[in-house]
C-alpha cells in the first residue's frame, strides 16, 4: 500500500474531512504518474504531424467519457495492461495543468485503490496549480 493509497483510504472514510482532502490532493499533485502511451506506428497515427519526441497518451472511452489512464507505479501499469507497455512519467501537477475538459482521469484502474476524477474535480485541481504557479511567479519577481 502506497502513501497515496493510504490517503485515498482516509478520504474515502470521511470525504468531508478537510485534512484528509488536503493530504490526498497534495500527494496527488506532488506524485509522479506512469501514463501509458499509444504506439503511433501500430495505430497508424500521422507521424509527420507530430513533433520529434512527442508522445500520445492513451485515452480510454468508458461510460460516455474519455479517461486519461494514470498509475502510481510501473507495476500497476503493467498489471493493468497485462504486458510491459510504453509510458511516460508525468508529475501530478503537470497532468492537472495540462488537462482540457471534458477529459477525465482514471487512477490505478484494476486495484482496490482506483479512483475516477471527474471534470469538476480536475478543474479545481487545475485552478489550485495555477494559483500556486502565480504565487511562485510573484515570489520570483520580488526576489529579482
Q: Which domains does the chain have, with CATH numbers?
A: 3-48+56-143 (3.40.1350.90)
Does the CA dihedral 42-47-52-57 come out positive or negative? negative
Segment 35-55, tens digit of pLDDT: 999 876 555 555 555 566 678
Per residue in 91-137, pLDDT tens?
Answer: 999 999 999 999 999 999 999 999 999 999 999 999 999 999 999 88
The angle subtended at Cα 82 by Cα 76 and Cα 83, nearest 5°, is 95
Res. 79 pLDDT band, cuts 50 70 90: very high
**Residue 6 pLDDT more than 80?**
yes
Higher pLDDT, residue 66 or 16? 66
Bond preceding residue 102 cis, omega within 30 of 0: yes
Q: What is the b/e burial string over 74-92, where b = at least 16 CB atoms within 10 angstroms of the residue's CB?
A: eebbbebbeeebebeebeb
Neighbours of 60 (CB within 10 A): 12
**How many alpha carbons fall within 13 Å on the CB side of residue 72?**
20
Locate 77 and state its grid cell.
501499469
Question: 3-class SS at 40?
Answer: coil
pLDDT > 90: percent of the chain: 74
- Name the pTM for this structure: 0.87
List, in order, residues 6 or more apart from 89 with CB less than 8 Å away: 32, 33, 34, 35
Amino acid at each position: 500500500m502506497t502513501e497515496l493509497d493510504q490517503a485515498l483510504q482516509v478520504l474515502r472514510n470521511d470525504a468531508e474531512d478537510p485534512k484528509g482532502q488536503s493530504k490526498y490532493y497534495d500527494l496527488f499533485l506532488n506524485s509522479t504518474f506512469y501514463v501509458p502511451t499509444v504506439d503511433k506506428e501500430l495505430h497508424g497515427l500521422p507521424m509527420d504531424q507530430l513533433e520529434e519526441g512527442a508522445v500520445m497518451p492513451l485515452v480510454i472511452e468508458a461510460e460516455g467519457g474519455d479517461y486519461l489512464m494514470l498509475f502510481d507505479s510501473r507495476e500497476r501499469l503493467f498489471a493493468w495492461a497485462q504486458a510491459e507497455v510504453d509510458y511516460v512519467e508525468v508529475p501530478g501537477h503537470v497532468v492537472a495543468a495540462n488537462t482540457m475538459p471534458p477529459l477525465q482521469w482514471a487512477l490505478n484502474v484494476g486495484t482496490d485503490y482506483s479512483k475516477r476524477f471527474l471534470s469538476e474535480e480536475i478543474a479545481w485541481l487545475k485552478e489550485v496549480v495555477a494559483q500556486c504557479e502565480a504565487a511562485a511567479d510573484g515570489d520570483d519577481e520580488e526576489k529579482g
